[in-house]
């Protein structure tokens, strides 16, 4: 099964995708994680990606598409994937459709996560992530704080703030999202594979609750 996670930064795509990955036994592929790993390691890709990400801009389509295509051809992706952070533009969506068609596959469901904008900003600036790239656990100082301040519950590694998790950059990222990525909602609605879930503290529906509802829905597909 090939699943796409849509939603503005801070909606919980990574958290929910991680839960789905564990339950369904298919890999979660996060373009953001791939870029951040390369930035940390100082690779040429990392330097290129950082020149855009640090300003709250999207990495160009041609760079992102090539990375995702290579990742989809790895052995662990043969039974399906959960794409988190890709596609982000209609151009990327068209290319993904082509890549999957060449493998005799398709997008089975696109999960669109919706959260009020003011809640997104508060959530992102309070986000902390595990510095261990193999763990990638995500915390929130208000909604889901670690048991020990500054330490990951799962592996004990140091928790860090992503360089782009600040108010100015977040606002830029949200603007980019609503301009470039929102049209994907209409795109996948026309494809007949869109499924929308609201993720909000105001209605007491956050990561685990939403993931459970999505898993129940997937049984009907």
**What residues are annotated to the active site?**
13, 88, 127, 162, 173
Contact 95, 53 (CB under 8 A): no
Radius of gyration of the chain (CA): 17
Q: Which residue do the tokens 């600040």 mark?
A: 166
Token pair listed for 21: 């990955």
* Three-state secondary-structure class, residue 79: coil
- Give the H/E segment covering residue 22: helix 13-24
Helix axes 13-24, 207-218, angle to 10 degrees: 50
């Amino acid at each position: 099964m090939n699943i796409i996670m849509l939603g503005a930064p801070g909606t919980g795509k990574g958290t929910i995708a991680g839960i789905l990955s564990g339950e369904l036994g298919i890999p979660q592929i996060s373009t953001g994680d791939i870029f951040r790993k390369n930035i940390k390691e100082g690779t040429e890709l990392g330097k290129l990606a950082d020149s855009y990400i640090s300003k709250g801009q999207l990495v160009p389509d041609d760079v992102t598409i090539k990375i995702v295509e290579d990742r989809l051809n790895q052995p662990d992706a043969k039974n399906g994937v959960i794409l988190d952070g890709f596609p982000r533009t209609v151009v990327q969506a068209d290319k993904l459709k082509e890549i999957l068609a060449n493998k005799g596959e398709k997008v089975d469901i696109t999960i669109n996560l919706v959260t009020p904008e003011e809640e997104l900003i508060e959530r992102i600036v309070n986000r902390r992530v595990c510095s261990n790239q193999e763990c990638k656990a995500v915390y929130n100082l208000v909604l889901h704080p670690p048991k020990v301040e500054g330490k990951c519950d799962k592996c004990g590694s140091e928790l860090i703030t992503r360089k782009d998790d600040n108010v100015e950059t977040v606002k830029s990222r949200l603007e980019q999202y609503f301009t470039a990525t929102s049209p994907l909602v209409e795109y996948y609605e026309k494809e007949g594979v869109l499924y929308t879930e609201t993720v909000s503290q105001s209605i007491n529906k956050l990561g685990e609750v939403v993931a459970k509802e999505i898993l129940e829905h997937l049984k009907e597909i």
